[in-house]
Structure 1
């Protein structure tokens, strides 16, 4: 690459950064991605790759929610860029979790959003637990189990022990259905009711079980499926 070409993309990057800092809302998604890529790809024009990523994944959310294997299939996106995008997504998830913890009382919608931050694009089923105190403040949001592509086992004993560990009084269970319907399976409903009875026996509350799939969040409590 000649000095003229190098000067062009270097000057363009500086101008774009200045425009972004002056008015962050007045830049396109691909321009934001171009700036981000510039922190990892120090030499070279990142604009074509930024446009390719935004177009292929339908925007920044689609890019960050995509499985790493999907992103790695894009020419020009190497291990350093993948690590950077994974770090960015983790920062976003932790930002939202910390913000929810500051609320005096969380809602099921808050917990559903926490789940979306963690599980969008996840290729296998995972079970997460939101532990709440008596005032419905969030104490912690933790993964308690990882399963196969289409099935995950949930241990009532494990969930009860986790609730007691954090001195919580209530739990909201959440898991995902990768590539499937958000409607609960028979196993989901039966396991959840066993879990609710186990928690009730030791004076704890299972408030709900949320299922995430294809951008939708299903509540077993709302559909009166909890005994």
Structure 2
């Protein structure tokens, strides 16, 4: 009698359907999202291969990798066939993809507009379930000197001290700065606190002869630029 503890592996698939072999023959681009995730999972459960578990996982997030990236470790481990080790592997792969996108954007161009800022931060922040507050420090040519995360909060907000923002800018000899945070709710409109903080930062930066060029709010859809809307 077959043991109930036996897990189906990718090797249980027909050879033509094995994602590792398929990647080796045809390249990673030839694989579906489920096949790529199946490689990360390695094994399935007693009734499903790793690819079938991956297909079910993707179905739970409407086939959206962006929605998948929003899941926490706890949410992933509640899915049958995905334990802590597999969940951590998935989250690590998604984080590498996020960092690669952000790194490429920073290295690719100077900051000329809110579009440049969104290209950097939307891949990093749009799918987070909590708020993060970042600053971009720029030289006189609007080239990025440094980007730094200054705080992390909950779903409803994060606390930022303008003194910390300006201290970092002065230490790095920045000529200008742009601050960025995300709204997990998906609503790009600034809150009263966002507006008040922007005014404080603008006044403080002027004292040090540093230009606050923009405050950008990131969501997974439309983003908001204080500069584009004439608030700065």
Give the whole-Å Cα distance in 2 for the aligned partners of 1:104 and 1:212: 19
Residues 40 and 86 of structure 2 are in contact (CA less than 8 Å); yes or no, is this contact kept in structure 1?
no
The total of aligned residue pairs comes to 223
* Residue 128 of structure 2 is aligned to residue 122 of structure 1: yes
Give the one of 22, 27, 32 matched to 2:31. 27
SS at match of 2:179: strand
Give the one of 142, 145, 155 matched to 1:139. 145
Give the whole-Å Cα distance in 2 for the aligned partners of 1:169 and 1:214: 30
Give the whole-Å Cα distance in 2 for the aligned partners of 1:7 and 1:121: 30
When normalised by structure 2's length, the TM-score is 0.83
SS at match of 1:102: helix
Gaps of 5+ in 1: none
Gaps of 5+ in 2: none
Q: Taking structure 1 as reference, are residues 150 and 13 closer, same or farther at Cα in structure 2, changes over 3 Å only?
A: farther
Give the whole-Å Cα distance in 2 for the aligned partners of 1:13 and 1:205: 59
Report the CA distance between 1:104 and its aligned residue: 4.5
2:185 is aligned to: 179
Give the one of 12, 16, 20 matched to 2:19. 16
1:59-208 matches, cutoff 5 A: 59-107=64-112, 108-208=114-214
Report the CA distance between 1:143 and its aligned residue: 1.1
When normalised by structure 1's length, the TM-score is 0.84
Report the CA distance between 1:14 and its aligned residue: 7.8
Residues 106 and 120 of structure 2 are in contact (CA less than 8 Å); yes or no, is this contact kept in structure 1?
no
